[in-house]
Amino acid sequence: MKKIINDPATVVTEALHGMAAAHPDLRVHTDPAYVVRADAPIRGRVAVISGGGSGHEPLHCGFVGPGMLTAACPGPVFTSPTPDQVQAAVASADGGAGVLLLVKNYTGDVLNFETAAELLAADGVDARTVIVDDDVAVRDSLFTAGRRGVAGTLPVEKIVGAAAESGADLDTCERLARTVVASVRTMGLALTPCTVPHAGEPSFTLGEDEIEIGIGIHGEPGREKTRLAPAQDLVRKLLQPVLDDLEWQQGDRVLLFSNSMGGTPLIELYLAHGSAAALLTERGLLVERSLVGPYVTSLEMQGISLTLLRLTDELIEWWDAPVSTPALRWGR
């Protein structure tokens, strides 16, 4: 295992100390672990909070800031944060207008966030939970009941965060979150596995010319192992299940999000994005917004995921709204 670490047991805590040094506009806590924007709580505004296992950076802590998340809870690598982390984050972020918890559909995340929501409700906090389940590769996996929550989490957080920043109420934020969840789909592939620091060995094995189609963001297996092929063929293998899953119509406007799993260089990612945009144009879809980069990763895994979100005027407005976070910023 070759990693730039000191001790596998302290990777997350030390990374949070580094984040605090790099971003003084955030308040970074380590016991319990959570990150909150420096100006929180903001009276009268909905607090939007997410989180999950570490190893997917910049998701979620890198998306804390104006126009996106109010706070985020990082668990150990590939392991859910605990309910007390969520409660502590809410206590720092709640401005009295309610709390929306955005949760990827992994069993541990769902159980712990829903437990936190129940405890918060007992304390009189209006905390609602929306589950993100955008992955089309598998219906159930080692980690989930139903679809997995993967890169489609980013547009949910961005759009809802922008609405909350504008002063939208909790009902509106929850409706927007459910609208995006219903309209976003993702599929990914891996060229190589990743190695969890405390495990010390790759999470799965692939032959020299093998790839895994349909992986999750923890290195879970997907639909099939197959041979490496030209980028345009791989892109088609990812996009076709996404296109099959929703009833897309010619002329639909879409956000195309081409995501690196952590180890894929931008030259390859842009190449894949170009192939995907061309394929969508051939199908009569209008790529009106794009995002390209390593935003929802799986440690050092080489691979990509492609996400499509069907856009409306309302979703475009919130997507384009200013955002200022460590990992995503525009319009300011």
Residues marked active site are found at 56, 218
Spatial distance between the Cα atoms of 224 and 290, rounded to a whole number of angstroms: 28
Q: Which residue has the tokens 């139903």?
A: 146
Q: Which helix (H) or strand (E) covers residue 310, if one does? A: strand 303-310
Axis-axis angle for helices 313-320, 153-166 (nearest 10): 80
From residue 134, give the alpha-carbon distance in Å to each of 103, 152, 187, 262, 276.
12, 6, 8, 19, 18
Alpha carbons within 13 angstroms on the beta-carbon side of residue 109 total 32
**Nearest Cα to 304, choosing from 177, 154, 186?**
186
SS3 251: coil
> Do the beta carbons of residue 34 and residue 88 sit within 8 Å?
yes
Whole-number Cα distances in Å, 276 to 119, 182, 194, 235: 44, 21, 25, 6
The CA distances from residue 87 to 98, 108, 134, 324, in Å, are 13, 16, 26, 25
CA distance 242 to 138: 12
